[in-house]
Amino acid sequence: MKRIDELDLPNLPMEDAAFASNPWPYLAAARHRHPWLARCSFGHVVHQFDAMKDLLGQDAYLQTRIDRVISIMGAEGTQWGRFQSESILTRQGLAHQRIRSVLAPAFTPRQANRHRPLMRAVITELLDEWVPKREFDFEAFASNFPIGVMCSLIGASRAVIPQLRSSLEAFGLSFSLDKEHLPALENATNVLDEFVQKLVAERQAARRQDGEEDLLEILLQTQDRGELGARELYDLLIFLFVAGYDTSKNALTLMMSVLIDNPGIYAQCAEDLEYCRKVVEENFRYLTTSTIPRVAVQDLPYRDVLIPEGSTLFFPVSIAGRDPGAHQDADRFDPDREEIRRHLTFGMGGHICLGQFIARAQIQEGLHLIAQRMKNPRRVGPSRWRPFYGVWGMRGLPIAFDPAN
Ligand code: HEM
């Protein structure tokens, strides 16, 4: 068995703009050199679907060690660094389970379905405002949707959206591994912290009396029982805004871009919400957003390779669904394919996305109504790409369309 650092591996330049705008030829070439592993500037990359699935499930061996990310970013002693090092994603074992179990009851498929009318109300209001323009940047439009839903879920006024959006946008670059973004990340952390502290103080002064339990009420009740500290509550609220923002917005924008090239599928989405479910799942396989970092906390033998303690691995689940060994005709967008939910968009293992049912419901409802109100979408300008590390996606998608009521 060879150690990972003794292997002759291809290099994936994942920090390069050229890679972010078209990773496919790099990945095809890498697969020829090694079936599942490559190097990158900050460690190693697992690029095969099955290997990602196996290894991301190894929580005892591979953990989210944010100290590695904080050190790459030079962020020791910053507010952003503190937030990241104490977040739900960084916690392990019992400390993680305690926080996750506080949230879990509010994030079941049933709860997500309960919020569908609210999601429809948020997207309808947005469409009423934006559709008359006939032409706009779809990414800018889409950015309002997840924040709007989140504000409604926790019972915050949607008037705060313009103030939060630029901070959430900045925060989305948390795992880009580019130090240049640190001042913006620090500023964003302070803005979001101030926002959630004010939100909690206002709610504590006037608790809901109508018997309705929004997410904030559930979290405050947990705090009342002494199961959640004040700082933990603020951090969780920030995390929820951040976790659901860039991911959902980028997923929606990537999906619109794919559907512009598949007008028949797009048209059918206007007719049929059930079909939208399939389109959304297929898009999660075909083109999605995240690269998940992990550090080996003990030696891990896998297949014929030893991954020694201290190794940093990256799992670009964003491209996992295009592995030709895992999916037949992987480069074809086909919502009618079998095993439609066979993708890794939401990760795997103990930290698998808690918001996945909300994300699914939100994007399905959004797509259904968008396709009804924005007919024949077409590109009217170029798009750029966001950094590949962290949360990938398109930067700008200028479109025109025919409005419909
Ligand atoms: C398309 C949209 C989304 C995508 C692609 C996505 C992706 C992910 C991924 C890949 C992880 C695992 C990260 C890791 O293991 O290191 C994750 C974790 C998480 N996500 Fe999402 N997410 C989405 C939407 C949301 C939404 C809407 C929410 C909440 C409202 C949310 C809340 C969370 C939480 C709380 C975790 C941490 C779970 C834990 O550490 O136990 N996500 N997400």
Question: Which ligand 1 atom sits nearest the alpha carbon of residue 358?
Answer: 27
Dist. CA 351 → ligand 1 center (Å): 8
Question: Which ligand 1 atom sits nearest the alpha carbon of residue 317?
Answer: 10
- Provide the pLDDT for residue 196: 95
Mean pLDDT for 174-183 is 86
For residue 346, what pLDDT band results from cuts at 50, 70 and 90? very high
Q: Is the pLDDT of residue 156 over 90?
A: no
Ligand 1 proximal residues by C-beta, below 6 Å: 64, 88-89, 100, 239-240, 243-244, 247-248, 251, 288-290, 292, 317, 345-347, 351, 353-355, 358-359
Q: How far apart are CA 345 and CA 368, in angstroms?
A: 21
The number of distinct structural domains making up the chain is 1
Atom 19, ligand 1: residue with shortest CA distance: 353
Mean pLDDT for 67-73 is 86
pLDDT digits over 18-29, tens only? 999 999 999 999
- Provide the pLDDT for residue 288: 92
- Provide the pLDDT for residue 162: 83
Mean pLDDT for 324-336 is 94
- Provide the pLDDT for residue 14: 97
Question: Which ligand 1 atom sits nearest the alpha carbon of residue 292?
Answer: 16
Nearest 5°: the CA angle 222, 223, 224 is: 90
For residue 194, what pLDDT band results from cuts at 50, 70 and 90? very high
pLDDT digits over 302-316, tens only? 999 999 999 999 999
Q: Is the pLDDT of residue 37 over 80?
A: yes
Query: Considering the entire predicted model, what is its pTM?
Result: 0.94
Mean pLDDT for 3-19 is 96
Mean pLDDT for 77-92 is 93
Question: Which ligand 1 atom sits nearest the alpha carbon of residue 363?
Answer: 1
Dist. CA 243 → ligand 1 center (Å): 6
- Provide the pLDDT for residue 2: 94
Dist. CA 352 → ligand 1 center (Å): 7
Q: Is the pLDDT of residue 31 over 90?
A: yes
Q: What are phi and psi of 75, to 5 degrees?
A: -105, 20
Q: DSSP state, 35? A: S
Q: Is the pLDDT of residue 130 over 80?
A: yes
- Provide the pLDDT for residue 172: 79
| One-letter identity of residue 352 | I
Residue length of the chain:
405
Secondary structure string (H, E, C) spanning 188-211: HHHHHHHHHHHHHHHHHHCCCCCC
Q: Is the pLDDT of residue 211 over 80?
A: no
**Percent above pLDDT 90 for the chain:** 80
Atom 17, ligand 1: residue with shortest CA distance: 353
Mean pLDDT score of the chain: 93
- Provide the pLDDT for residue 385: 97
**Torsion angle of the four alpha carbons 159, 162, 165, 167, in this order, in degrees rounded to the nearest 10:** -100
Dist. CA 41 → ligand 1 center (Å): 25
- Provide the pLDDT for residue 87: 93
- Provide the pLDDT for residue 215: 87
Probe target for ligand 1 pocket from 175, 346, 363, 386, with the most ligand atoms within 8 Å of CB: 346
**Is residue 40 within 8 Å of 14, Cβ to Cβ?**
yes
- Provide the pLDDT for residue 405: 76
- Provide the pLDDT for residue 171: 85
Tokens encoding 40: 């990158």
For residue 354, what pLDDT band results from cuts at 50, 70 and 90? very high
For residue 213, what pLDDT band results from cuts at 50, 70 and 90? confident
Nearest 5°: the CA angle 158, 183, 165 is: 15
Question: Which ligand 1 atom sits nearest the alpha carbon of residue 289?
Answer: 5
- Provide the pLDDT for residue 163: 80
Atom 36, ligand 1: residue with shortest CA distance: 353
Question: Which ligand 1 atom sits nearest the alpha carbon of residue 56?
Answer: 15
- Provide the pLDDT for residue 154: 87
- Provide the pLDDT for residue 32: 95
Atom 28, ligand 1: residue with shortest CA distance: 355
Q: Is the pLDDT of residue 210 over 80?
A: no
pLDDT digits over 40-65, tens only? 999 999 999 999 999 999 999 999 88
Listed in sequence order, the residues at least 6 apart from 344 whose beta carbon sits closer than 8 Å to its beta carbon are 49, 52, 53, 56, 315, 317, 320, 321
Q: How far apart are CA 125 and CA 369, in angstroms?
A: 11
Look up the CATH number of the domain holding residue 137.
Answer: 1.10.630.10
Listed in sequence order, the residues at least 6 apart from 260 whose beta carbon sits closer than 8 Å to its beta carbon are 266, 377, 378, 379, 399
- Provide the pLDDT for residue 199: 93
Range of the domain at 22: 2-403
**Is residue 276 within 8 Å of 387, Cβ to Cβ?**
no
